[in-house]
Structure 1
Amino acid sequence: MQVTIEDWDGDGAIRIPDEVLQELGVDVGDILYVIEEYVGNVRCLVLSKTPRIPDRTDELIDHWNRSGGE
């Protein structure tokens, strides 16, 4: 979804439509993080409920650690 950066008392602001908030499962007062990620070779800003999007390698290491490394 494309959003527009708006002027809010001299500062940039992003208005997030209600349908996007509902899809994310968040509401007014919840914390969202803006994370810089690459989709292919394009730099994007991503909204996330966690401060960091786990790398696939992190997921594999976690799985390896849980299974005892066997």
Structure 2
Amino acid sequence: MGPKQVTIEDWDGDGAIRIPDEALQELGVDVGDTLYVIEEYVGNARCLVLSKTPQIPDRTDELVSHWNRDGDE
């Protein structure tokens, strides 16, 4: 799934966005589920990321985890 454009709308005086059904399906979530908005940098660009977990693992952490699993076999 590529980037999706969303418009910030007014919801009782607060800013709100609608999340397209395709994005919800890709994340495996539905209305009533909890998502976290995480600030991340892609290169020098500041981005907001939707995640099912409160933080996104650092890629280095993923590599170390992978190496540890390989060493256990």
Indicate the TM-score class for this superposition, using the shorter chain for normalisation. 0.7 to 0.9
| 1:63 paired residue number | 66
Higher strand share: 1
Partner of 2:61, secondary structure, is helix
Distance in 2, matches of 1:26 and 1:56, equals 24
**Runs in 1 of length 4+ with deviation above 6 angstroms?**
none
Shift of 1:61: 2.7
Shift of 1:65: 4.2
Aligned counterpart in structure 2 of residue 31 of structure 1, from 34, 38, 44? 34
Task: Quote the RMSD (CA, aligned, Å).
Answer: 1.4
TM-score normalised by structure 1 residue count: 0.83
Among all aligned residue pairs of Structure 1 and Structure 2, give the percentage whose two residues are the same amino acid. 87
Structure 1: state its 5+ residue gaps: none
| 2:57 paired residue number | 54
Distance in 1, matches of 2:59 and 2:20, equals 30
Structure 2: state its 5+ residue gaps: none
